[in-house]
C-alpha cells in the first residue's frame, strides 16, 4: 500500500505510516498484529475500524493513542510523530489531545460520576468553575444529571459507559478513541450513546475512531476501515 504524505494544512489529525506490531509467539514463531498499516484520518471524521477478532483493531487504536509502541513505523498526530516523544512528553500529549473510551469503562471506583467525568480536566489544572460548567453540561447530555453523585458500583453498565464518554469528551480532545464502546450495552443504551457522540461530532467537530464489531456503530459511521490479519483490506467512505 502506498504510504500517504504527511499533510501540514491543519486538516489532517492522524496518519500512520507502514505500521507493524509483531509479537514473539514462542518456538521461533511470530504474530503480526499489524502488518504495514498506513492510513490518514482527517479532522471531524466519524470512523469505524472493523474486522474479525485478532484482526488488529484494538492494537491499531493502542498505537494511535500512544498506549503501546509499534515494532516499526510511525504515528503522526498534527504532524508530530508521537513515536519520537519521551514518556513524560507522550503522557502530557495524550492528556491534552486524546479522549479514550474503553470497553471496561476504567472509572475510578472511589469517585462519583461527576468526579470521574471531570477527572481529566482536573489533571489539566482547569479551573473548578470551568470543570463544573463542562461536566454539568455533559452529564445532562448523557442523561445522568440525576446520577451525578453515584459511584460506579451504584450505576448500571450503560450508565458507567456514559460517564466514561463524558470523561473522554470533557476536556474537548482533538479526537476520541473508542475501543468496543457498546460491547456491554443493550440496544437503548447503545442508541443513546451513539446519538450523543454523533451530536458532539457535528457540534464540536471532534474526531471519533471506533474499534467495533457492532453493526449499530458501523451503520452510524461515515467511514469504515476493515482490517484482516493486520492489514487494511477495504476503506469505504461516504461522499461529502
Please report, for the domain that includes residue 48, its CATH number.
3.40.50.300
In-domain check, residue 70: no
In-domain check, residue 157: yes
Q: What is the pLDDT along the chain (240 residues), one digit of tens a residue?
A: 343 343 444 555 799 999 999 998 777 788 899 999 999 999 999 999 999 988 999 999 999 999 999 999 999 998 899 999 999 999 999 998 999 988 788 899 999 999 999 999 999 999 999 999 999 988 888 889 999 999 999 998 888 988 998 899 888 888 899 998 887 778 887 888 888 888 888 888 889 999 999 999 999 999 999 999 999 999 998 765
CA atoms within 13 A on the CB side of 110: 0
> How far apart, in Å, are the Cα atoms of 173 and each of 15, 167, 204?
17, 10, 10
Burial 185-209 (b: 16+ CB within 10 A, else e): beeebbebbbebbeebbeeeebbbb
Identify the domain containing residue 148 by its residue range. Answer: 44-56+90-237
- How many structural domains does the chain have? 1
In-domain check, residue 147: yes
In-domain check, residue 14: no
In-domain check, residue 13: no
How far is 202 from 215, CA to CA, in rounded Å? 21
In-domain check, residue 75: no
The pTM for the full model equals: 0.86
In-domain check, residue 24: no
Amino acid at each position: 500500500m502506498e504510504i500517504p504524505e504527511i499533510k501540514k494544512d491543519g486538516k489532517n489529525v492522524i496518519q500512520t505510516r507502514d505500521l507493524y506490531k509483531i509479537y514473539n509467539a514462542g518456538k521461533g514463531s511470530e504474530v503480526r498484529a499489524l502488518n504495514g498499516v498506513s492510513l490518514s484520518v482527517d479532522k471531524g471524521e466519524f470512523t469505524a475500524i472493523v474486522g474479525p477478532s485478532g484482526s488488529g483493531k484494538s492494537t491499531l487504536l493502542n498505537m494511535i493513542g500512544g498506549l503501546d509502541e509499534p515494532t516499526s513505523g510511525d504515528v503522526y498526530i498534527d504532524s508530530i510523530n508521537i513515536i519520537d516523544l519521551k514518556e513524560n512528553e507522550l503522557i502530557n500529549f495524550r492528556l491534552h489531545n486524546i479522549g479514550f473510551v474503553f470497553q471496561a469503562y476504567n472509572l475510578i471506583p472511589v469517585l462519583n460520576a461527576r468526579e470521574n467525568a471531570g477527572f481529566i480536566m482536573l489533571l489539566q489544572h482547569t479551573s473548578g468553575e470551568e470543570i463544573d460548567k463542562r461536566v454539568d453540561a455533559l452529564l445532562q447530555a448523557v442523561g445522568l444529571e440525576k446520577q451525578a453523585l453515584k459511584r460506579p458500583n451504584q450505576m448500571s453498565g450503560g450508565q458507567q459507559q456514559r460517564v466514561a464518554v463524558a470523561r473522554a469528551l470533557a476536556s474537548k480532545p482533538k479526537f476520541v478513541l473508542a475501543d468496543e464502546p457498546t460491547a456491554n450495552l443493550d440496544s437503548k443504551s447503545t442508541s443513546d450513546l451513539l446519538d450523543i457522540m454523533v451530536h458532539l461530532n457535528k457540534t464540536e467537530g471532534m474526531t471519533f475512531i471506533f474499534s467495533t464489531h457492532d453493526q449499530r456503530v458501523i451503520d452510524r459511521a461515515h467511514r469504515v476501515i476493515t482490517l484482516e490479519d493486520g492489514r487494511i483490506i477495504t476503506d469505504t467512505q461516504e461522499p461529502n
